[in-house]
């Protein structure tokens, strides 16, 4: 058959319509959103906002507090993206992460690197120009510790959780430094709260997905030989330690009874979930510990900002 006749009878391929273009754009945006781990970014910005507002000492600076929280969130998002870039080979081996955009090959690595670099530059530059250069340096150091120390350490040592808890606890301290120029008591106390809070949270996750981690060769504590029972016991240890740490502001007179009551009740609930997990490591009890951790931080930060002793500082005009 002649070429012109073939073209006449062959079915024409429809060009992509607006609906498919919107679908591709939506999928691409979803992949970039997955790259920055939005739930973690939300917690980072909430913690940064709390530390920043405590450092500002006045609601008159709320715009600056929001900007600082956004900048710190951008650096955290860059850290999450670099984490996925460096772990894309391991992510392919785990059921939980095999669908991530880099592991699945939906995003080119060079695009992810460019995106993560842009977020890091925007976040640190904003902190350096509009706030305190020390905050920018600390944020950059946090990114380096998370991406270049914690991330590769997961392949070699179970101490990675301890190392990773340091950058994970930095957001409220960074927020306080950005607005006050120094960490302050609240910055250090909230750093300690999040540092201790992370262990039951991550140990529960690591236990739930221990087979995935074992398959990928990651040295997470519950995935190690002979580690039966250790995840639950360590989760309980840190959950109990969290209670006196969280009560420090009330003991020092920087917060009142409202905050103290919330800190005790939330701490006991978290420790109770961890104790149940320690008594018997099961999927249900690990998940309950995880859920308790997700409730704990937002409610504690809310208690900080609504406590009458703390909030009276915010209503007073700044001098």
pLDDT digits (tens, 9 = 90+) for 245-266: 999 999 999 999 999 999 999 9
Q: pLDDT tens-digit profile of 154-213?
A: 999 999 999 999 999 999 999 999 999 999 999 999 999 999 999 999 999 999 999 999
**pLDDT recorded at residue 17:** 56
In this structure, is residue 306 part of a structural domain?
yes
Judge whether 250 and 260 are in contact, CB under 8 Å.
yes
Sorted by sequence, the CB contacts under 8 Å of residue 96 that are 6+ apart come out as 209, 212
17 located within any domain:
no
Residue 157 belongs to some domain of the structure? yes
Angstrom CA distances, 226 to 92, 158, 176, 223, stand at 26, 13, 42, 9
> And the tokens for 71?
């900048």
Contact 283, 273 (CB under 8 A): no
Give the torsion through C-alpha atoms of 150, 156, 158, 161, to 10 deg: 10
Report the pLDDT value the prediction gives residue 255, as an integer from 0 to 100. Answer: 94
pTM confidence score: 0.88
Residue 11 lies in a domain: no
**What was the pLDDT predicted at 246?**
97
**Number of domains observed in the structure of the chain:** 1
- 274 within some domain: yes
In a domain, 113, yes or no: yes
Rounded Cα distance between 112 and 103, Å, is 12
- DSSP-derived letter for residue 146 is I
Which stretch of 74-88, 182-196, 207-221 has the lowest confidence by average pLDDT? 207-221
- Asked if residue 1 is part of any domain, the answer here is no
Which structural domain, as residue segments, surrounds residue 142?
32-315
User: What pLDDT score does 170 carry?
Assistant: 97
Residue 5 in domain: no
Instruction: Name every residue whose Cβ is closer than 8 Å to that of residue 216 and which is 6 or more positions away in sequence.
Output: 90, 91, 93, 94
- Residues 40-54, mean pLDDT to the nearest whole number: 95
Given its phi and psi angles, is residue 57 left (phi above 0), alpha (psi -120 to 50 degrees) or beta?
Answer: left
Given a cut of 60, whether residue 318 has pLDDT beyond it is no
CATH at residue 289: 1.10.357.140
> Would you give the end-to-end CA distance of the chain in angstroms?
89
């Amino acid at each position: 058959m002649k070429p012109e006749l073939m073209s006449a009878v062959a079915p024409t391929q429809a060009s992509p319509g607006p609906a498919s273009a919107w679908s591709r754009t939506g999928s691409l945006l979803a992949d970039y959103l997955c790259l920055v781990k939005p739930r973690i970014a939300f917690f980072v910005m909430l913690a940064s906002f709390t530390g920043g507002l405590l450092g500002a000492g006045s609601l008159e600076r709320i715009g600056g507090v929001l900007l600082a929280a956004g900048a710190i969130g951008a650096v955290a998002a860059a850290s999450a993206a670099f984490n996925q870039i460096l772990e894309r080979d391991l992510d392919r081996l785990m059921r939980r992460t095999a669908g991530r955009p880099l592991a699945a090959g939906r995003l080119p690595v060079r695009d992810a690197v460019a995106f993560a670099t842009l977020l890091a530059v925007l976040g640190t530059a904003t902190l350096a120009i509009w706030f305190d250069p020390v905050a920018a340096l600390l944020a950059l150091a946090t990114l380096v510790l998370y991406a270049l120390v914690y991330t590769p350490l997961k392949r070699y040592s179970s101490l990675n959780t301890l190392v990773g808890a340091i950058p994970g606890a930095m957001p409220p301290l960074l927020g306080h430094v950005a607005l006050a120029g120094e960490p302050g008591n609240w910055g250090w106390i909230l750093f300690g709260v999040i540092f201790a809070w992370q262990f039951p949270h991550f140990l529960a996750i690591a236990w739930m997905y221990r087979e995935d981690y074992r398959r990928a060769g990651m040295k997470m504590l519950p995935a190690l030989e002979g580690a039966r029972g250790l995840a639950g016991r360590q989760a309980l240890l840190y959950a109990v330690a969290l209670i006196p740490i969280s009560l420090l502001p009330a003991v020092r007179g920087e917060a009142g009874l409202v905050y103290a009551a919330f800190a005790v009740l939330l701490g006991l609930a978290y420790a109770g979930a961890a104790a149940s997990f320690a008594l018997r490591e099961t999927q249900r009890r690990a998940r309950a510990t995880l859920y308790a951790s997700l409730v704990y931080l937002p409610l504690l930060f809310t208690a900080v900002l609504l406590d009458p002793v703390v909030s009276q500082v915010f209503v007073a005009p700044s001098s």
